[in-house]
A and B are shown apart, each in its own frame.
Chain A
Amino acid sequence: MTTVSEVAKGGLGAEAFVPGRRAWGDSEPPARVVSSEERMWTRIRALWASRELLVFLTRKEIKVRYQASVLGLLWSLLNPTVVLLTYYLVFTFFLVSAIPYFALYLFSGLLVWNLFSLGVQTSATSIVGAAGIVKKVAFPREVLPLSQVGVAVFFFSLQLIVMAIFLAAFRILPSWNYFPLLVFALVDLVIVTAGLSLLVSGLTVFYRDLEHLIMVLMQAWFWLVPIIYSFNNHIWGQATGAKRILKFVYLADPVTPIILTFQRFFWGKLGLAGTTATSIEVHFTYGTYATLLAAVLGGSVLVFLLGMRVFGRVAANFAEEL
């Protein structure tokens, strides 16, 4: 006689009825509430608790993008390098701009713009693209668009590295005294991008073609901020009356002061040297930049809260809409 069976452990036999320990010990576990009325504060706290997930998703996005390529991450460094070199060649030798050191000027603005537009545009489809998870797993949905912002921040830092190498190679010193403002501007930029990303990703679930509309709007927006041209333009001149209002409206675009700060930091020292009294240096003191950025911070937080609110409204129906 040979026994051929394995004894099944823990069946509904005697030992299964051993009074078990509570999984959470003696203390009361924290309560979690599922309802359609979640307070903004609760959601922001839940989002904070999911920061590790946000980092995971961001890293996943980056990894997936470069997994199959031999050069891997080098590709993402190569792209801004080639762009910057091209600008340098074109604007130094062929298309001489009225703005001195134009390649540097352009790239300072593009650093900001690339983060902003990449973040907002890729977020648009972030929920729709993750339908599989959204329908089957519960987690704060906000991390999906925000991870796209994370990816944009990652590419921004790569471009920043290229910029630093470029500056070092040409022995150009940025305006270091503006460094705190640069950090301030970056914080503003991330908040406003995150806010718009939330708004756009939530709405795209309901209007799938919003993605294309955003692409078009982004192209128009690009020309509404001083990246290719100088803010220090003759149309402002000695801004008075109606022009003052127009100028105010122009600066009300949160991206504009951020771009101006970046340009001031990277390009300002070189570009503003030897310019005449019409330069923005005259109108824009350190304090003006700081004030503008503070106003942008206020606006960015409002955009973020609006994004969170709209997102919260539509998020309850994501699982059924997808």
Chain B
Amino acid sequence: MTTAIAIEGVSKHFRLYHQKYTSLKARILHPGRIPYEEFWALRDVSAEIEAGKTIGILGRNGSGKSTLLKCLAGILKPTSGRVVLRGSLAAMLELGAGFQPELSGRDNVYLNGSLLGFSRKEMDRRFDDIVAFAELEKFIDNQVKYYSSGMYVRLGFAVAVNVEPDILLVDEVLAVGDERFQMKCMERVYRFQAEGRTIVVVSHSPDMMRQTCDQVLVMDGGRLITIGKPGEAIRAFRDRLLDTGFVPEPGSPEAIAAGHAAEVRPMRPRMVRIGDVAVEHDDQDDRPYLVTGEPLTVRAKLDVTERVLGAGFRVTILRGSDIIFISDTGQHAGGVNLEPGPQEVAFRFARIPLLDGSFSLHLDVRDAGGVVLDMREPACTFEVMNPGRATGLVDLPMEVELVQLESPPYSEAAGSTWL
């Protein structure tokens, strides 16, 4: 085991001034010490992060998680303690940070690479990949100020991931671009994991952490609460929220964390492996999309190594990171008995109510006790086209009925004030 990042007793201390004087004039007019409050954003945080692991940093707002990430990145210097990093590093705290609007995309790629500490030669080698990844071939010589925000962010992400750092630090910036680009970003993150790079991600989303992280670090009040497997750490985080009498606002990241912090069991040993997953429509033509309202079939290849009785499949359809629905064979059809050997399973939906957009599909398989045997997230992506006029997320057919009333639709008292 190699340690990629060693955090050694890191503390970070901020001074919060009641009245901040940022000019010489004000400083001369107000001689003497300026009163301030001490604020410890980090207190004696120590942890070792193994090379090749993906680590999540979880915490509520103000817990110090972003400060910790900035200390790892070297943007903030710890007040005491130190961070030792092995290998090249790229931090994505803000995509396209350091882009100069006046310069062309090309110049900005080189400048950004240079800011991240990569030489011109290295950037020459990666330039084409970066441009291809960002899908900006046609616009690369245009000034960045004429880019749309999507193009801007795509270029920023493309630079950060294509310089192939040993350590990648990410601060909740993955939710960028359209769905297809988001998927591409996630794919790149998975590839990074497969290549044995170290990833540290700060996120509000425990779900995302559970899917991608090997270990989660929980921060609260500037202290490290726990570091451990995602399931345990997320539970510790939820317990912490309850212990401290913290009442999360509905819809807040903390509330979501508390709600989703269900049991997670180890995924191994793998009795079942999910292979390729495909979405199909019934028509004979080869159009590459689904039409709203038609039947949909999800076909998955399975490799079963041990017999599983009463297995349950769960199909989740998402748009971006928003779950649209989860369909569980356990609820609908009862368990399936799986015999060893390669096989194919099909799930059929009689009518797909989705309107326009690209969607991703997750598939997991559990045993009768609910233990996850394998999961593919995402398993595949598909597009839906809506021939009708309805807009939004789902197609809810609506009927109109008109009835004549005997009396006016408003009361007599209020009547005179109308119009």
Which A positions have Cβ atoms within 8 angstroms of B? Answer: 1-24, 28-36, 38, 49-50, 52-53, 56-57, 60, 63-64, 67, 132-139, 206-210, 213, 315-317, 319-320
Q: Considering the chains assembled together, what is the distance between the CA atoms of A207 and B91 in angstroms?
A: 29
The answer on a CB contact under 8 Å between B380 and A10 is no
B205 at interface, CB cutoff 8 A: no
Determine, out of B67-75, B329-337, B397-405, the stretch whose residues face the partner at the interface.
B67-75
The answer on a CB contact under 8 Å between A136 and B24 is no
A103 smallest CB distance to B (angstroms): 36
26 A-B contacts, Cβ less than 8 Å apart? A1-B281, A2-B280, A2-B285, A4-B290, A5-B279, A7-B278, A7-B379, A8-B187, A10-B190, A11-B377, A12-B377, A16-B193, A17-B194, A29-B88, A30-B86, A31-B85, A32-B85, A34-B71, A34-B78, A35-B81, A67-B143, A136-B75, A136-B91, A206-B22, A213-B24, A319-B76
The answer on a CB contact under 8 Å between B88 and A2 is no
Q: Considering the chains assembled together, what is the distance between the CA atoms of A320 and B14 in angstroms?
A: 8
Q: Which residues of A contact B93 (CB under 8 A)?
A: 136-137
| B271-305 to A contact mask, C-beta < 8 Å, 1/0 | 00111111111111111111000000101000000
B83 at interface, CB cutoff 8 A: yes
B275 smallest CB distance to A (angstroms): 8
Q: Which 10 A-B pairs have the closest CB atoms?
A: A20-B196, A35-B82, A136-B97, A138-B74, A5-B279, A316-B77, A29-B87, A5-B380, A5-B382, A209-B23
B338 smallest CB distance to A (angstroms): 16
B384 smallest CB distance to A (angstroms): 9
Q: Which residues of B contact A136 (CB under 8 A)?
A: 75, 91, 93-94, 97-98
B107 at interface, CB cutoff 8 A: yes
Of chain A, the residue at the smallest CB distance from B116 is A137
A211 smallest CB distance to B (angstroms): 10
Q: Considering the chains assembled together, what is the distance between the CA atoms of A64 and B111 in angstroms?
A: 13
Q: Considering the chains assembled together, what is the distance between the CA atoms of A52 and B84 in angstroms?
A: 24
Size category of the binding interface on chain B: 35 or more
B378 at interface, CB cutoff 8 A: yes
From known contacts A12-B190, A22-B51, A23-B196, infer whether A2 and B287 are also in contact, taking CB-CB under 8 Å. yes
Q: Considering the chains assembled together, what is the distance between the CA atoms of A316 and B77 in angstroms?
A: 5
Q: Which residues of B contact A208 (CB under 8 A)?
A: 22-23
Q: Considering the chains assembled together, what is the distance between the CA atoms of A24 and B195 in angstroms?
A: 10
- Which of A33, A50, A64 is within 8 Å of B83, CB to CB? A33
Q: Considering the chains assembled together, what is the distance between the CA atoms of A32 and B111 in angstroms?
A: 22
B127 smallest CB distance to A (angstroms): 14
B214 smallest CB distance to A (angstroms): 11
B13 smallest CB distance to A (angstroms): 10
Q: Considering the chains assembled together, what is the distance between the CA atoms of A20 and B276 in angstroms?
A: 21
Q: Considering the chains assembled together, what is the distance between the CA atoms of A35 and B71 in angstroms?
A: 9
Of chain A, the residue at the smallest CB distance from B88 is A29
- Which of A1, A6, A67, A133 is within 8 Å of B115, CB to CB? A133
- Which of A3, A34, A134 is within 8 Å of B77, CB to CB? A34
